[in-house]
Copies of this chain bind each other. A is one copy, B any other.
Amino acid sequence: MTNAQASLAHLYRVFTKPEGQDSKLAQIERHLSDNLADFLSRHVVASNRSLEDIEQDFNQSLIPEQPQFVSEHAEQLLDKLVAHSVNTYSPRFIGHMTSALPYFHLSLAKLLVGLNQNLVKIETSKAFTPLERQVLGMIHRLVYKHDDSFYQQYLHNANRSLGSFCSGGTIANISALWVARNRLFAPRGQFRGISQDGLLAGMQEYGYQKLSVITSRRGHYSLGKAVDVLGLGRQSLLTLPCPNQTLDPQLALKEGQAILAQGGKVMALIALAGTTETGHIDPLDELADVAAELGCHLHVDAAWGGATLFSRRYGGLLKGIERADSVTLDAHKQMYVPMGAGMVLFKDPDAGNQVRHHAQYILRQGSKDLGATSLEGSRNGMAMMLYASLHILGRNGYELLIDQSIEKAKAFAAMIEAHPHFQLTTSPVLCLLTYRYVPQAVQERLLVEPQLANSLHPLLDELTVAIQKHQRESGHSFVSRTRLETQDYPQQAINVFRVVLANPLTSADDLTEILAEQHRLAVTLPQFRQVMEALG
């Protein structure tokens, strides 16, 4: 056999011949299926190898010339990649919004790739298109609570859309504001609408002096990207102070009216239902009144908190969300679906037509191709993952997950408050909270000499950063950190630990141990000594 023939044989093999039962890949698959926690704890090594060191394993810019055997490559993936990944399944990984997932997603992921559908058009997805529309309808109904006849009318309507699936909350937020912008600058007279004629012509036609979007300082960073991409510019995004972590409707109204008084226009008010940093929920119902008063689009970024609607006990925290013109939700957050399952929903099934587009070979007029109103083009069938989850867990199951997460966060908050060396900085509304390590001696001293705060805060900030870094590097547990103003320190942003208690596998013992580890770590750090020395 010549080299070329050998290469060709190898090539056809990878397309047509499965790896054997004893192959490395088959072993990996079995281990994943049999015991994911064990697979991860064996293969993800909790080393403190630095990123710069890991980069040495990924420093080849030349594509290898010759093919490699699958099993050989699988070994390398385990050694180089899996070993130095992050164990997001771990019950002590409570720093970000990525958590353990139900087991069945492993199998569904394989099915998804086996089917390899493209949901941009029916010709490459068929049943996946109605399935995705149904899932969008289910989530739409969770939010907007219309009756059967509404969904019968719109669920599979070729000329309407209840929303779009997309890769995540960022694309969902951009999509929502894109629709809001295009609707604001509708065609009239000679002006063919902003979609055709652009922002400059739109501003001239409508005579606005400036265009603004209002949200709080807790608004997700994707909102800044959205106004940048959409041509408004980041200065058009007013991020109002919110020391108590929620947007004050009076302040939003006042600022909005000031813009109108100057000849400006408020394009959208963005309320947050579960801020990324603290999990707080803006007063949606009152902000809906503000949006009505200002005559602007109300968008609710519920990427994190939307799933709270599954809970009868806590769903009421989102009262008013049904008044939003658009809502962002991420199924890969509190719906426990793998990464890549964002959604944007529109109250008005006609809203998506603001961005409808066609092509000659797909998305033709009258087709039900999902790509006709989405920002993305080709997409995979992630909607199947959410469809399966909604059925296998049921509303009931999701409710239990949501309730347990929130109650766990409240229990952790109580543990922090009871601990002599920690201070709660924001209380949990959903399952997020923030806190700080403040040695008891410092707490006591600040009670009697509050003016010391100015000199102590920068040192406590450094201590927080150092603890978080060392804890992350030690690899046993993980909390994240952020910097924000709080009710106690409204004028001065402070560094805090941030935890997200969404992993159903996290136990009270895990939480106790995380605090214990942080305390053990803290007292060994030079930043700790600096804080204590500053006490004099």
Partner-binding segment picked from A13-21, A285-293, A418-426: A13-21
**Residues A277 and B361 in contact, CB atoms below 8 Å apart:** yes
**Residues A198 and B233 in contact, CB atoms below 8 Å apart:** yes
Starting from the known contacts A16-B37, A230-B231, 8 additional A-B residue pairs (CB-CB under 8 Å) come to A7-B394, A51-B129, A61-B137, A61-B151, A106-B113, A167-B379, A221-B363, A330-B378
Question: What number of copies of this chain does the assembly contain?
Answer: 2
Look across to chain B and name the residue whose beta carbon is closest to the beta carbon of A309: B63
Q: Which of A375-433 contact B (CB under 8 A)?
A: 375-381, 384, 387-388, 390-397, 400-401
Q: Which of A4-50 contact B (CB under 8 A)?
A: 4, 7-8, 10-12, 14-19, 25-26, 28-29, 32-37, 39-40
A513 within 8 A of B: no
A194 within 8 A of B: yes
**Residues A140 and B61 in contact, CB atoms below 8 Å apart:** yes
A361 with B61, Cβ < 8 A, contacts A233-B195, A340-B340, A377-B169 known: no
**Residues B196 and A25 in contact, CB atoms below 8 Å apart:** no
A261 within 8 A of B: no
Q: Which residues of B contact A142 (CB under 8 A)?
A: 63
**Residues B339 and A54 in contact, CB atoms below 8 Å apart:** no
**Residues A168 and B200 in contact, CB atoms below 8 Å apart:** no
A102, chain B: closest CB distance, angstroms: 4
CA A166 to CA B358, docked complex, whole Å:
22
A25 with B107, Cβ < 8 A, contacts A58-B133, A122-B51, A394-B68 known: yes
A117, chain B: closest CB distance, angstroms: 6
A44, chain B: closest CB distance, angstroms: 8
**Residues A225 and B360 in contact, CB atoms below 8 Å apart:** no
Q: Which of A218-239 contact B (CB under 8 A)?
A: 220-222, 224-225, 227-236
A131 within 8 A of B: yes
Partner-binding segment picked from A445-453, A456-464, A478-486, A520-528: A478-486
Q: Which residues of B contact A384 (CB under 8 A)?
A: 77, 81
Q: Which of B127, B138, B277 contacts A85 (CB 8 A)?
A: B127
Q: Which of A56-110 contact B (CB under 8 A)?
A: 57-70, 73-74, 76-77, 80-86, 88-89, 95-96, 98, 100-107, 109-110
**Residues A178 and B229 in contact, CB atoms below 8 Å apart:** yes
A505 within 8 A of B: yes
Q: Which of B86, B95, B330, B493 contacts A117 (CB 8 A)?
A: B86
**Residues B70 and A123 in contact, CB atoms below 8 Å apart:** no
A466 within 8 A of B: no
A107 with B29, Cβ < 8 A, contacts A155-B61, A388-B73 known: yes
A387, chain B: closest CB distance, angstroms: 8
A344, chain B: closest CB distance, angstroms: 14
9 A–B contacts from the bound complex (CB under 8 Å): A58-B155, A67-B396, A69-B392, A86-B123, A98-B124, A101-B113, A196-B234, A198-B232, A360-B483
CA A95 to CA B221, docked complex, whole Å:
40
**Residues A339 and B378 in contact, CB atoms below 8 Å apart:** yes
**Residues B138 and A60 in contact, CB atoms below 8 Å apart:** yes
Which of A152, A198, A357: most chain B CB closer than 10 A?
A198
**Residues A199 and B81 in contact, CB atoms below 8 Å apart:** no
Look across to chain B and name the residue whose beta carbon is closest to the beta carbon of A140: B61
CA A61 to CA B141, docked complex, whole Å:
7
Look across to chain B and name the residue whose beta carbon is closest to the beta carbon of A393: B67
Q: Which of B192, B200, B393 contacts A11 (CB 8 A)?
A: B393
CA A96 to CA B338, docked complex, whole Å:
27
A116 within 8 A of B: yes
**Residues A115 and B88 in contact, CB atoms below 8 Å apart:** yes
A126 within 8 A of B: yes
A317 within 8 A of B: no
Q: Which of B33, B148, B168, B482 contacts A361 (CB 8 A)?
A: B482
**Residues B377 and A17 in contact, CB atoms below 8 Å apart:** no
A313, chain B: closest CB distance, angstroms: 13
Look across to chain B and name the residue whose beta carbon is closest to the beta carbon of A65: B395
